[in-house]
Amino acid sequence: MNRNILNKLAFLAFAVAVTLCASQTFFAQIAVKGETVFTMAGEPIKNGVVLVKDGKIEAVGAAAQVSIPSGYRVISAKVVTPGLIDAHSVVGLNGYLNQPTDQMALDGSGPIQPELRAFDSYNSREVLVQWLREFGVTTVHTGHQPSALVSGQTMVVKTFGNEVDDVMIVPEAMISVTLGRDGLAGQGKSPGTRAKQIAMLRAELIKAQENAKKTERPKDLRSVAWLSVIDRKVPLLITADKAQDIMSALRLAKEFNLRIVLDSVSEAQLVMKEIKESGFPVIVHPTMARPGGDSESLSMEDAAKIKAAGIPVALQSGYEGYVPKTRVVLYEAGMAAQNGLTQREALELITIDAAKILGLDGRIGSLAAGKDADIALYDGDPLEWTTHCVGTIVNGKVASEVVR
């Protein structure tokens, strides 16, 4: 083989190596050591080790039982948890500038737009995504905001990657529906009342039922979106705070045999029995939400009361238009732990419980062999104000790290 060919092959090999490094498609072999490891799959492990290989968790256990192979990079922290999960957000669609140029979670041209994909608006390079990651948040359920009757779709993404295709877990997770005052269109526009909201939704769902019976189903975007709901492939994420709106959501689900996830539910305490009997999960409102309007009855004890009732529940950062940033579910868990939940229970609501509601507990939410290597590292109790996140691992890659 002549020298020119050898040089070309060498250059090609170098270029491939550089490309792999730049795109971060390689995986490291890492051993994470924690004075306390909350696996969320069992009791916390004192002096624990989590082995990471090829983007997955290889082994978890006490240091006396899990030996660290030669060549593994060792990272240590006082407390180790699964990567945190934000069960409902608009991050990546709405950005930190809070200006029209980075506010993409709502299209105000119509009250019902189930065909709008969060996928097409998500900005994986948004600084708020990085900001969340630096608190240990590795997965976010995000999408169109609750400010229209049907504002669009949601999706589930990881918080580390350059392009939306790199971070995607579930491209069409749910379709966002808002009942009550926030779902009304305003003076002289439709829907203008609660009755009109339900009538419009029923009309869409009846049409979808009829389309589902056709030999050749419609292929326009709106019909396809509703068919996914009628076929029970995609649930409705129904934001409803007043008890009457929560009950409307439950009746709608029963009438059309829908899968739904209840969101916010500030008056859940008034219809707790009905929610539990429905079997539907709840994503509770953020503790930092301002009580007022439909959410005037919200309480910081809601998460504890809902969990105590045996209803599947998770925490969210949520959405409020006046905030030019996003909340952090780690803070939400800390507040929940001060208002009726134990430390373990609060952590469950932002790890394994959130994963179950999103249907992803086989992949994320706990530290167990075979699951995605999403790990958060802290220099103390994660729910304490003075604690810092000192490292975040996403899909087996060190996505953020603080050297102290």
Phi, psi for 119 (deg, rounded to 5)? -50, -40
- Pairing mode, strands 73-82 and 56-62: unpaired
Per the CB < 8 A criterion, the answer to whether 218 and 240 are in contact is no
The label of the residue with tokens 């996914």 reads 228
Tokens representing 383 are 């729910």
Q: What is the pLDDT of residues 173-224, one digit of tens each?
A: 999 999 999 999 988 899 999 999 999 999 999 999 999 999 999 999 999 9
Residue 44 has a pLDDT of 98
Residue 324 has a pLDDT of 57
Separation of alpha carbons 79 and 135, rounded Å: 13
Per the CB < 8 A criterion, the answer to whether 34 and 80 are in contact is yes
Provide long-range contacts, Cβ within 8 A and 24+ apart, for 253-256.
253/278, 253/280, 254/278, 255/202, 256/205, 256/209, 256/230
Residue 287 has a pLDDT of 84
Residue 22 has a pLDDT of 39
Residue 404 has a pLDDT of 58
Dihedral sign, CA of 201, 203, 205, 211?
negative
Residues of the chain with confidence (pLDDT) below 50: 5-26
Per the CB < 8 A criterion, the answer to whether 120 and 337 are in contact is no
Residue 27 has a pLDDT of 61
Count CB atoms within 10 A of the CB of residue 44.
Answer: 17
Q: What is the pLDDT of residues 259-317, one digit of tens each?
A: 999 999 999 999 999 999 999 999 999 988 888 999 999 999 999 999 999 999 999 99
Residue 268 has a pLDDT of 98
Which CA distances in Å does 98 have to 74, 107, 133, 145, 281?
A: 40, 15, 20, 14, 31
